[in-house]
């Protein structure tokens, strides 16, 4: 499901090459030539990942990485550091500064893409195209299909994105505002009760197989995807004997 990447690199030729490759791979790309430009872009439109060159004019890439990590609003942004330095100590320093991965120049575009994909999958699973299956409910974001058991479920795009977000973050409670940011995008102006409308539609679509019970309303807060929502009240296993205490 793509994702957005900010490329911070002062060498225009490399920056353009990176941007073109990433766009072709389906990412939304922003570019900056130095840290002040990058900081302005991060403030305006929070990217999912920053591809950051170590050596930049003025503020070095590592300093920017540390700033991103120390700020509540940006600490979850993935960082992949690019550098010509291949010494082990440099890699250690980069990872300690908060980078999720470190790629040495010159790099193969395919390897870089694979590393970016891996970091995205780890830190933002809702952006990956992996099939997710929970409690018999299966979502294939690449194919835009959902099924319960062997029964296909027809969903509109927003409901599909909402379900995918829930299934990649099971058990966590999300406010309506947070769901709007994550599923609709931060710059979309929609009222919070829009979320309720889409939740209702999603539940209707999931109701025939009982999977609507996986989506729990958390009073006064928002919603949660409950992976164990299909299970009834726990009953004692037939024949199970209490374990003798040691």
- SS3 assignment, position 197: helix
CB of 34 to Ca ion, least distance (A): 10
CB of 98 to Ca ion, least distance (A): 19
β-partners of residue 49 are 5, 78
Q: How many CB atoms lie under 10 A from the CB of residue 194?
A: 15
CB of 78 to Ca ion, least distance (A): 20
CB of 81 to Ca ion, least distance (A): 11
Inter-CA distances, 239 with 15, 137, 242, 245, Å: 66, 30, 10, 18
CB of 22 to Ca ion, least distance (A): 17
What is the separation of C-alpha 9 from the centre of its chain, rounded to a whole number of angstroms? 23
**Which of the residues 120 through 159 are near Ca ion (CB under 5 A)?**
none
- H helices within 25-105, ranges in order? 35-44, 61-70, 88-96
User: From CA 77, how far away is CA 87, in angstroms rounded?
Assistant: 25
Interface stretch with Ca ion, choices 30-38, 48-56, 120-128, 138-146 (CB under 5 A)? 48-56
In this complex, which beta carbon is closest to Ca ion, that of residue 84 or of residue 197?
84
Q: What torsion do the CA atoms of 27, 30, 34, 37 make, to the nearest 10 degrees?
A: -140
In this complex, which beta carbon is closest to Ca ion, that of residue 93 or of residue 175?
93
In this complex, which beta carbon is closest to Ca ion, that of residue 10 or of residue 212?
10
- SS3 assignment, position 11: coil
Beta strands in 130-202 (DSSP E): 132-134, 137-140, 145-148, 151-153, 173-175
Does 55 contact Ca ion by CB under 5 A? Answer: yes
Interface stretch with Ca ion, choices 45-53, 134-142, 147-155, 223-231 (CB under 5 A)? 45-53
Does 10 contact Ca ion by CB under 5 A? Answer: yes
Does 95 contact Ca ion by CB under 5 A? Answer: no
CB of 43 to Ca ion, least distance (A): 22
In this complex, which beta carbon is closest to Ca ion, that of residue 9 or of residue 101?
9
Does 53 contact Ca ion by CB under 5 A? Answer: yes
Which parts of this chain interact with Ca ion (CB under 5 A)? 10, 53, 55
């Amino acid at each position: 499901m793509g994702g957005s990447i900010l490329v911070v690199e002062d060498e225009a030729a490399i920056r353009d090459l990176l941007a073109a490759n990433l766009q072709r791979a389906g990412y939304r790309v922003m570019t900056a030539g130095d840290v002040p430009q990058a900081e302005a872009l991060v403030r305006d439109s929070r990217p999912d990942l920053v591809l950051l060159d170590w050596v930049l004019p003025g503020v070095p890439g590592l300093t920017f990485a540390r700033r991103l990590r120390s700020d509540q609003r940006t600490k979850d942004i993935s960082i992949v550091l690019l550098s010509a330095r291949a010494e082990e100590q440099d890699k250690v320093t980069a990872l300690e500064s908060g980078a999720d991965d470190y790629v040495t120049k010159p790099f193969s575009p395919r390897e870089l893409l694979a590393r970016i994909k891996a970091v995205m999958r780890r830190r933002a699973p809702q952006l990956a195209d992996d099939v997710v299956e929970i409690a018999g409910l299966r979502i294939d974001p690449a194919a835009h299909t959902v099924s319960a058991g062997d029964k296909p479920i027809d969903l509109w795009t927003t409901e599909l994105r909402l379900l995918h977000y829930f299934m990649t973050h099971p058990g966590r409670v999300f406010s309506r505002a947070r769901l709007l940011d994550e599923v609709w995008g931060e710059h979309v102006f929609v009222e919070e009760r829009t979320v309720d409308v889409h939740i209702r539609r999603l539940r209707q679509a999931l109701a025939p197989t009982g999977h609507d019970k996986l989506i729990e309303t958390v009073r006064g807060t928002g919603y949660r995807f409950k992976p164990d929502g299909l299970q009834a009240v726990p009953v004692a296993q037939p024949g199970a004997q209490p374990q003798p205490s040691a």
